[in-house]
Structure 1
């Protein structure tokens, strides 16, 4: 097995760490800091794998991959980047890079990738440089970098994708990115929200109808499947689909054919399916509300999106991006201070990225100075949404003191009386915070899902009450 590695990295600290790790694995590592030195080394030596940074002192290490392919067409290339956008991951994929690692990366994973690259030695051919993506999928957090890497893996195929995540996390943006950056970008992108269409009209909306198929069908209508022919059909809020429509959707996915309502002829359609939901489909399968076979048909490539509270390190980049958007839409151009970013990062963000965008646009409109600081955040964001953990704890203790003052349980019953008084609001809070998702509510409470279901029943809390209408 080949052991010669070329590392193109101008950060001496990172280069030293990688070099030492690979040499411990028995690799012969040669390092350089520029494209000119890289090209000279490749012209005079043979290497089994190359690791390259993107931004180097004399150019773009990714944009110049074609020069590397001319000299070493079969050498695997592993891309390292400190960039925080989806565009870099897509460019790495378009350049047929063996693997892409955002910085900071896991050193063990990088070492394993080098091992696999050397062992597999896949053939590589030059690819066109990827187009710049204007889609606001931003994040250097490990969770978002994982999303980017999953997106790049489905761009060159038509595998069905299921995007999951809370409301406001950007599920439609992921679907648009897969379409706009993938092989079907010249075809139509058609989105349909299952929750926004009356159940009795859903099949007509998806598959179309013939004239006279039902009362009010005064003319033929082409459905979303036919509209998306040759492109991508995005089925948003798939968990809200009624059972009878699920059956027809499954049949269409299995056969690649649809039939308009009231029609006799089957029509072949060529569409890529991307579905999305903010619901946990597995409990719905157990309850008989979602077909198990349809779930497996949709869940070929799952892409879970993290809530904003689990990627707080991305909030700064998102805020700056949204301030730029706001300026482009005619609002005052603003800068943002570090203390403002910290104040925004301290929030819970139940509405996720969508909520953050709305707050940033509000700040762009209402801030008194060109620099948005923590004081501007306090002025524009309601106090009850910005309370610190200590303030919330003080509020809980005040409420408990008030309850104890107004209730005098007999000796030996205080614990159970207090538990009975506070348990129901606690469970209601967990369900409200998770939009009625029992799996996440159980995780939030730190209990088993079966225990949650039993306590909801015992406390007479209707679970469906907390599911937000879509």
Structure 2
């Protein structure tokens, strides 16, 4: 039987039948073309005591909205008779009091930004945790309304890729910042793409018409950082033959991206703090105060709180920079994004004149088993190497494993190896402590012992096989295993990424 939400409805009866709740419960309008998703949301919201109305088309939803129904709307992007993003501004005009929560399987930064710009209260990526939907609706009912629509536009060609939950959290945070001038501190390991995040904040933000000026503070001699940032007067120091503008002046009206902020010397930190507090600076060797209108975005891969304890970073500057913290996840925390990222980098290699390649399923699986100490930058470099060095159109697991083994850092001296081995227990203990802490007051799910062993065993065997070019006899000797035992483990762990020959 076709549900009411999928049949043309005559006003004022719109959508599925209303389930009245006692005590005048809030009414939630849910519009999604997927009946299963409507049902799941309906049941969850009903258990929470809400009145729920379900719709399968934009037209049916709009009819209900125009009658004044609903306290919150949950709206899918792709609908059979329209795009949910396209009606956000209309909804805001007709019902400015109605918060709209956008849900979508188009899990990109562009979707999150467009939803926020056009007045959505919040954005959730599919598949979502139903508890998140309930929580967002609760916040919407408390706060009412949503962000003001009409922010700067942005296309879909964005530098950030990934549909993992870790990237979705980053997209949502970034989308809320696009219409602001708040100072942002981006943290993350080297190679995760911190500059891409800063560039996206600028390109999609209110200062997109101004310049984006990146500065790598680790690459500038420490005695020249102040001159580089603030400029200098003629004769300020040896070699200053004329007045020079600094990066703040170059970034006027736009965004100044201070990368590797943890490498900034203390004297320069003091001057930067003054700029952030007062909005003005003086050139090196000068007395004239220069007003500045610049948004500052900073980034670091260092632990600034530890630097503060060690006296290497000003605590007051940290709080000025850390108005909005953004953390870029390492690649090992978003392994589900690897296939999309790898395909993107292979396509970019074609644009640069390299032959077109693609990865088979085994190659993708091998990539997902790697720990990626160099993060996304390491993956990009690997894809370019594969495109340049191998003649076959389809790249397999053996090729990927060989290149990963070749690119691994060389094994050091015996003393270095012993020191690293001694520190392995502490590293594992720290990692597991973070894992336990991530579950709050609860405990990790059952089976942790086997999962930890599998996490260690698979990469250890794979590295040994890679180092011996797939020679199982030599790998077994290195690992201290019987060759038959190793062969069984290779099959059990499905380690197909190397040519596992026997001799």
TM-score for both structures, normalised by structure 1:
0.81
- Kindly indicate whether residue 48 of structure 2 is the aligned counterpart of residue 21 of structure 1: no
- Give per-residue Cα distances to partners, 1:186-207, cap 9 Å, x unaligned: 1111111111000111110011
- Give per-residue Cα distances to partners, 1:327-365, cap 9 Å, x unaligned: 222222333333221111111111100111111122233
Quote the residue 1:230 is aligned against: 253
Please list, as runs of the form range in 1=range in 2, the aligned pairs for 1:386-401 lying within 5 A after superposition: none
In structure 2, how many angstroms separate the alpha carbons of the residues matched to 1:228 and 1:123? 31
Please list, as runs of the form range in 1=range in 2, the aligned pairs for 1:313-332 lying within 5 A after superposition: 313-332=336-355
CA pair 251-350 structure 1, distance change in 2 beyond 3 A: same
1:37 aligned counterpart, secondary structure: helix
CA pair 193-31 structure 1, distance change in 2 beyond 3 A: same
In structure 2, how many angstroms separate the alpha carbons of the residues matched to 1:66 and 1:177? 23
Return the offset for 1:14: 1.9
Quote the residue 1:163 is aligned against: 186
Please list, as runs of the form range in 1=range in 2, the aligned pairs for 1:200-349 lying within 5 A after superposition: 200-349=223-372
2:73 aligned counterpart, secondary structure: strand
**Which of 358, 361, 365 is the equivalent residue of 2:388?**
365
Quote the residue 2:420 is aligned against: 425
2:86 aligned counterpart, secondary structure: coil
CA contact (8 A) 1:74 1:124 kept: no
1:234 aligned counterpart, secondary structure: strand
Question: More relative contact order in 1 or in 2 (CA 8 Å, sep 6+)?
Answer: 1
Quote the residue 1:197 is aligned against: 220
In structure 2, how many angstroms separate the alpha carbons of the residues matched to 1:145 and 1:306? 11
1:359 aligned counterpart, secondary structure: helix
In structure 2, how many angstroms separate the alpha carbons of the residues matched to 1:81 and 1:101? 7
- Kindly indicate whether residue 169 of structure 2 is the aligned counterpart of residue 182 of structure 1: no
Report which stretch shifted further, 250-259 or 370-379: 370-379
Which runs of 5 or more residues in structure 1 are unaligned? 387-394, 396-402, 404-419, 432-439, 448-470
Report which stretch shifted further, 107-116 or 327-336: 327-336
CA pair 109-363 structure 1, distance change in 2 beyond 3 A: same
In structure 1, how many angstroms separate the alpha carbons of the residues matched to 2:93 and 2:108? 28
- Kindly indicate whether residue 120 of structure 2 is the aligned counterpart of residue 97 of structure 1: yes
CA contact (8 A) 1:73 1:125 kept: no
RMSD: 2.7
CA contact (8 A) 1:81 1:103 kept: yes
- Kindly indicate whether residue 136 of structure 2 is the aligned counterpart of residue 149 of structure 1: no
- Kindly indicate whether residue 103 of structure 2 is the aligned counterpart of residue 87 of structure 1: no
CA pair 102-135 structure 1, distance change in 2 beyond 3 A: same
CA contact (8 A) 1:75 1:124 kept: no
In structure 2, how many angstroms separate the alpha carbons of the residues matched to 1:364 and 1:217? 47
- Kindly indicate whether residue 18 of structure 2 is the aligned counterpart of residue 4 of structure 1: no
1:101 aligned counterpart, secondary structure: strand
- Kindly indicate whether residue 340 of structure 2 is the aligned counterpart of residue 353 of structure 1: no
CA contact (8 A) 1:210 1:262 kept: yes
Quote the residue 2:480 is aligned against: none
In structure 2, how many angstroms separate the alpha carbons of the residues matched to 1:384 and 1:147? 30
CA pair 94-357 structure 1, distance change in 2 beyond 3 A: same
2:69 aligned counterpart, secondary structure: coil
CA contact (8 A) 2:231 2:245 kept: yes
Aligned pair count reads 408
In structure 1, how many angstroms separate the alpha carbons of the residues matched to 2:226 and 2:49? 61
2:195 aligned counterpart, secondary structure: helix
CA contact (8 A) 2:119 2:146 kept: no
